[in-house]
Structure formats: structure tokens, C-alpha cells
Amino acid sequence: MTLAPETPPSVTAERRTVLPASRPRPAEPGGERRRSLALGRATDTYALLGAAGAAVGLTALLFVWLLPFNGAVGFACVGYVIFLGLYALLVSFDEDGATVRDRLAGVVVRTAGLLLLAALAFVIVYTLWEGRRALPHLNFFTEDMKLSGPLEPLSVGGILHAIVGTLEQIGIALVLTVPAGLLCAVFLNEVPGRFARFVRTVVEAMTALPSIVAGLFIYATVILTLGADRSGLAASLALSVMMLPIIIRASDVVIRLVPGTLREASYALGTSRWRTAWHVVLPTARSGLTTSVILGTARGVGETSPVLLTAGFSAEMNADPFDGSQVSLPLATFEFVKSPEPNMIARGFGTAATLMALVLLLFIAARIIGGRAPGQLSRRQTHRRVLASRRDAERFATRTRTGTDGHKPAAPSATPFRSSP
């Protein structure tokens, strides 16, 4: 609604813009009819269904009567190829070559997408399904394996020790990597130069470090050279070596996305570098940084190989990460399924399901907190910011009022701008 500024408000009410949609439609005797803009046509669906049905029938015929093939995977592969051929044939009856290729490509791309998603769903559902025997027992989450051998029924023993171990190890690893990682990421972006470029290259190289080599490094230094026992601490050190480059890399990317104009505005206000970093760059990138830390944590929680070399294995609860072997969820899974006993394998799947639930939880947390571009605010943050700027407006108003009679120069405010709440 554009109104000339001099229009008095009483006239405004009558001059409202009327949207065409709210006008009554003219009757349509041969006039305009609403057309469907959908791209799909009924014949496309028929071609798809017909090709699918024919392919299933033909493949079944081949498999059962004509050819010495067997196996579900073979059936699916042969059937899919036949389906593609038949579909191309059906489409080519009423379309030209380019359209046939387009349709075929569409089908293949959709199949690949669905296949990848189905593979994920299948891996997850399979683990949960195989874990169904262990998971319903409450003792699975409240006991350790001290009193239960491989032949013990599932109503005895559990993985509490592994849950505690995982939480402690990842906790220590986070305490070590988050400050170091964020500091390094800030360094890479806020103190640019030749040294920063070199550090970035080395960090990039270290993301290629295979996790087993990280474990081998800690095993060789902490355990063999320094003579410490295998412990939760050694495991968290190995996890830290693995997670540090991942977290730095992800945070570096996030901080790089902070708009340069924000930084320049801050410098233009006379702000020093560290205040810019602390009050502008980090708050702006906060949701992205949280996401990258959480995703790094998810990688670290699920990593078995560094822990395998450094944590040792214990079947009983060890809440002290600094002394003695301490098992974690992925390691417990690994050790459980090495046993031939069905109950131990069921426990292994139960442990894997628990681990996956933990990863899923971390992931959902990352999606809720993050997933926003830097500078994009949640509703609550917007609300707080609106309130803050309203307060500022009042403050300025009072200052101008007092300034007109006293005309003393306003004292500089403690912070020239508001950091995001």
C-alpha cells in the first residue's frame, strides 16, 4: 500500500487497495477456465506403472523358468534394468528422444536418492530390530557386566559402565578440544597472515589423519613411552587428537561466513580487535559454532578405533577416567559381537542402538541450535534485540532532552553497540 504522505488518514480507509482475488469472478460461459499447472500427466503415471508391472512379471519369468539365476539382489538388479528399458520404450511411443532421456534420467536419479535413504533407514532399523531382545530389559541400562558371563541371560548385566565411560571420555575430550579448537579458529580468521595460512594448511592435512593412527600415536606416546596404563584419559586424548582438526575446520568455515561488513562496522566504531572478536564475530557465528562442535562430538562418540588401542577393556564399572581400563559404547559393541554367544551379540546390538540414540540426540540438538546462517536470529533473540533497541531509543531521547538545556557532550557509552543476547 503506497500512500502519499500528505493524504489525511480519514481518506485512507476508503482508498484501500482491493486485491483481484476478492473480486467476484465472472461467470465462465466459454470464458476463462482454471488450468492445471501441474507438470505430471496421467499418461506418465500409466507408463511408469505399466513398465514396473511388466518388469516384475518379465523378471519373474526369467528367474523362475528361463535362466539359472537366483537371489533377491539379482532379481532386483535384473528387474530394474528391464524396467528402465520398458519405460523408455513406453515413453518413446509419444515423446521425442530428448524427453525420453529426461524421463530416464529422472527415474535413475530418484532411484539413487531413494536407495541411499533406504540404506540409511535399513541400517538403523536393522540395528534397532536386532537390539530388540536386549533393550527392553531395564537392567541393561542400570547394571554393568561384572557378574554376567557370556552365557548369562539378558536379564543380568548391562552397559551402564560403557555409558559412563563414553560420557566421561567425550567430556574430557570436549574440555580439551573446544577451547583449543575455537581459539585456533578465531586465530585463523582474526589474526591473518603467513603463520595463520601455514597453521590452516597443517590443520587441513591433519583432518586426513586416519583415526586408528591417532590411537596408535597416543598408544605409543602415553602408554608405551610414558608408561601410563590404559585408561579413559588416554582414550580421551586419542579422541582429542582426532576431533581437534575436525572442530577447527568446521569452526573456521563458520567464522569465515561472518559478513565482513559487520567486522568493518565494528572497527569503524573504534573497537579493538579482541572486542570485535568477542562481541561481534563469536556471537554472530554462535549457532554455527555450536553445530560444528556438536557434529564433531557425534563423530568422536562413535569412533571405535582410537579407543580400541588406548582405553583397554573392563567388564565392570570404572568411574575414574584417570586410572584403570574404561570401556565406552562403541568399544563395548565391538567386544560384545566378537563373542559367538547369541546373548552377547544381542547385547552388542543393544549397545549399538544406545550409541545411535546418543548420536541422534546430539544431531537433533545440533539441528535445533544451529541450522541458521550467521546473524540470523531465533524469535526470542529478535524479541530481546527489539527490546534492547527500544531501551536505547529511550536513552537517546532522554539524552537529547537533557542535552538541549545543559548541552554537555554525552559521555561515551560503555559499549558502543549491543552484542546479541
Partner 1 sequence: MAAGVTGGPFDGDSGEMPAVDSSRVLYADPGLPDRIFRGVARGGGGLVLTVMLLVGGFLLYRAWPALDRAGWSFLTTESWEPDAGSFGIAAVMVGTVLIALVAIVVAVPLAVGAALYISEYARPGIRSTLISIVDLMAAVPSVVYGLWGLFFFEGAIIPTARWIATYLGWFPPLSVVGVDPNDPLSTATVYTSSTLIAGIVVGFMVAPVICSVMREVFTQAPAGEREGAYALGATRWGMIRSVVLPFGKGGMIGGTMLGLGRALGETIAVYLIISPVFVIQWHIIQSGTSSVSSLIALRYGEASPFAMSALMAAGLALFVMTLIVNFAASSIVARSRSGAASDA
Which of 41, 146, 367, 391 is the binder for partner 1 (CB under 8 A)?
367
User: What is the distance, to the nearest Å, from the Cα of residue 218 to the centroid of all Cα atoms in its chain?
Assistant: 28
According to the binding rule CB under 8 A, does residue 72 interact with partner 1? yes
Which of 48, 228, 363, 384 is the binder for partner 1 (CB under 8 A)?
363
Which of 170, 172, 235, 244 is the binder for partner 1 (CB under 8 A)?
244
* Distance between CA atoms of residues 105 and 92, nearest Å: 14
Task: Give the footprint of partner 1 on residues 164-183 (CB under 8 A).
Answer: 180-181, 183
Contacts of residues 84-89 at CB distance under 8 Å and 24 or more positions apart, as own/partner, are 84/108, 86/50, 86/51, 86/54, 86/55, 86/58, 87/47, 87/48, 87/51, 89/51
Nearer to partner 1, 154 or 247 (CB): 247
Minimum distance of partner 1 from residue 155's CB (angstroms): 23
| Structure-derived torsion over alpha carbons of residues 56, 61, 62, 63, reported in degrees to the nearest 10 | 80
Residue type, 247: I
Task: Give the footprint of partner 1 on residues 303-322 (CB under 8 A).
Answer: 303-305, 308-309
Neighbours of 195 (CB within 10 A): 11
Nearer to partner 1, 53 or 74 (CB): 74
Which of 61, 64, 89, 117 is the binder for partner 1 (CB under 8 A)?
117
With CB under 8 A as the rule, give the number of residues binding partner 1: 103
- Quickly tell me which residue has 605409543 as its cell: 220
According to the binding rule CB under 8 A, does residue 409 interact with partner 1? no
According to the binding rule CB under 8 A, does residue 60 interact with partner 1? no
Which of 337, 365, 369, 388 is the binder for partner 1 (CB under 8 A)?
337
If you write DSSP's letter for every residue of 69-122 in order, what string do you get? ---HHHHHHHHHHHHHHHHHHHHHHHS-HHHHHHHHHHHHHHHHHHHHHHHHHH
Task: Please list, in sequence order, all residues whose beta carbon lies within 8 angstroms of the beta carbon of residue 371, skipping any fewer than 6 positions away.
Answer: 287, 291
Span of 46-54, 107-115, 136-144, 157-165 interacting with partner 1 by CB under 8 A: 107-115
Nearer to partner 1, 400 or 413 (CB): 413
Which of 49, 89, 360, 368 is the binder for partner 1 (CB under 8 A)?
360
Nearer to partner 1, 269 or 397 (CB): 269
- Quickly tell me which residue has 562418540 as its cell: 301
Which of 53, 106, 403, 421 is the binder for partner 1 (CB under 8 A)?
106
Which of 3, 49, 191, 319 is the binder for partner 1 (CB under 8 A)?
191
The tally of CA atoms less than 13 A away on the side-chain side of residue 178 is 14
Binding map of partner 1 across residues 24-53, x = CB under 8 A, - = no contact:
------------------------------
According to the binding rule CB under 8 A, does residue 98 interact with partner 1? yes
* Distance between CA atoms of residues 258 and 282, nearest Å: 9
Task: Give the footprint of partner 1 on residues 201-220 (CB under 8 A).
Answer: 202-214, 216-217, 219-220
Angle, CA of 254, 259 and 265, to the nearest 5°: 135
Span of 27-35, 55-63, 189-197, 314-322 interacting with partner 1 by CB under 8 A: 189-197
User: What is the distance, to the nearest Å, from the Cα of residue 94 to the centroid of all Cα atoms in its chain?
Assistant: 44
Binding map of partner 1 across residues 254-283, x = CB under 8 A, - = no contact:
----------------xxxxxx-x------
Neighbours of 1 (CB within 10 A): 6
User: Could you tell me the sign of the dihedral formed by the alpha carbons of 317, 319, 324, 325, in that order?
Assistant: positive
Minimum distance of partner 1 from residue 420's CB (angstroms): 19
According to the binding rule CB under 8 A, does residue 123 interact with partner 1? yes
Give the three cell numbers for residue 354: 544406545
* Distance between CA atoms of residues 234 and 307, nearest Å: 8
Nearer to partner 1, 113 or 259 (CB): 113
Contacts of residues 223-228 at CB distance under 8 Å and 24 or more positions apart, as own/partner, are 223/310
Which of 15, 25, 110, 146 is the binder for partner 1 (CB under 8 A)?
110
Minimum distance of partner 1 from residue 199's CB (angstroms): 5
Nearer to partner 1, 54 or 295 (CB): 295
